[in-house]
Amino acid sequence: MSDSFSECYKTLMTNIMMYTFMDTITNTAIKKNNKSLFFVPSGEVSIDSAYHPPNTLEKFLEFQFSNFVQFLYNEFENYIYNCIKAILISSPGIMTEKQISIGDIIKYDYDTGRVIEFKAEKVAEEYLRPAIEKAIEKIGKDFKLRYKITEEELQKLNRFSEIRNLYTHRRGIIDKKFIANMGEEKYKEGIFLELESIEFYEYIKLINIISTRFDIALRIKYPNLVVNVP
């Protein structure tokens, strides 16, 4: 196995650390050059609406934040996906109820290993189709993993998932569906969602906590897949 839980976990943590580091460098550079073209308005202020088209800096920060949110969520989802795939490839008997067609066998040149990997990828994708907090619970139950995630943590994970979906599918513009799913009156439809830095870093902490518990449970349940990574 080229992938192990320790490798998957290390990749997740390293990517988050590097992206956070680059984010810090970017923000520091902006603060040191606060009179740069970033602050040149792109349009005049409208007195009637008290609105001005965002300047270059504002657009940049929107892009930066949106990209960071999607990156963090996708890295976490990829981590879960790779862990499930590793389990299934090492124990293909778990997938005995999953049908493999003649077409699958022909497609991969009768190579059993490649067919198993293909089916493992499909099953892993199926686990991640429901809402992420429900997927985490189902994975723990199906694979008999002993990790504890509190109801509050699951709610926060659900919130983060909703925020990520908003940035991905609505470019961060709040709509009625987002307001209904979040269940909070403080959000206004048609407004770009801005999160405080402290709230975003709370999500980083949440992903770190859940991933660490998940990784420990996987190491205990499937020690044969653990490879110590320096």
96-155 pLDDT per residue, tens: 656 666 666 666 666 777 877 888 888 899 999 988 888 988 998 888 888 888 889 988
Determine the 3-state secondary structure of 65 from DSSP. helix
Residue 108, in any domain of the structure: yes
Residue 41, in any domain of the structure: no
**What does the pLDDT read at residue 40?**
43
Nearest Cα to Cα of residue 1 among 97, 104, 77, 113: 113
Residue 39, in any domain of the structure: no
**What does the pLDDT read at residue 114?**
80
Residue 213, in any domain of the structure: yes
Q: Determine the structural domain holding residue 107 and report its residue range.
A: 5-19+60-223
Q: What's the Cα-to-Cα distance from 99 to each of 64, 95, 102, rounded to whole Å?
A: 43, 8, 10
- Given a cut of 50, the residues of the chain with pLDDT beneath it are 1, 35, 37-52
Separation CA 89–CA 117 (nearest Å):
6
**What does the pLDDT read at residue 42?**
44
Residue 52, in any domain of the structure: no
pTM above 0.95, yes or no: no
Residues linked to residue 46 through DSSP beta bridges, in sequence order: 51
173 phi and psi angles, rounded to 5 deg: -85, 120
Contact residues for 204 (Cβ-Cβ < 8 A; gap 6+): 16, 20, 72
Per-position b or e across 36-50, b if 16+ CB within 10 A of its CB: eebeeeeeeeeeeee
Residue 184, in any domain of the structure: yes
Two tokens, residue 172: 């961060």
Q: Is 190 left (phi over 0), alpha (psi -120 to 50) or beta?
A: left
Q: How many domains does the chain have?
A: 1
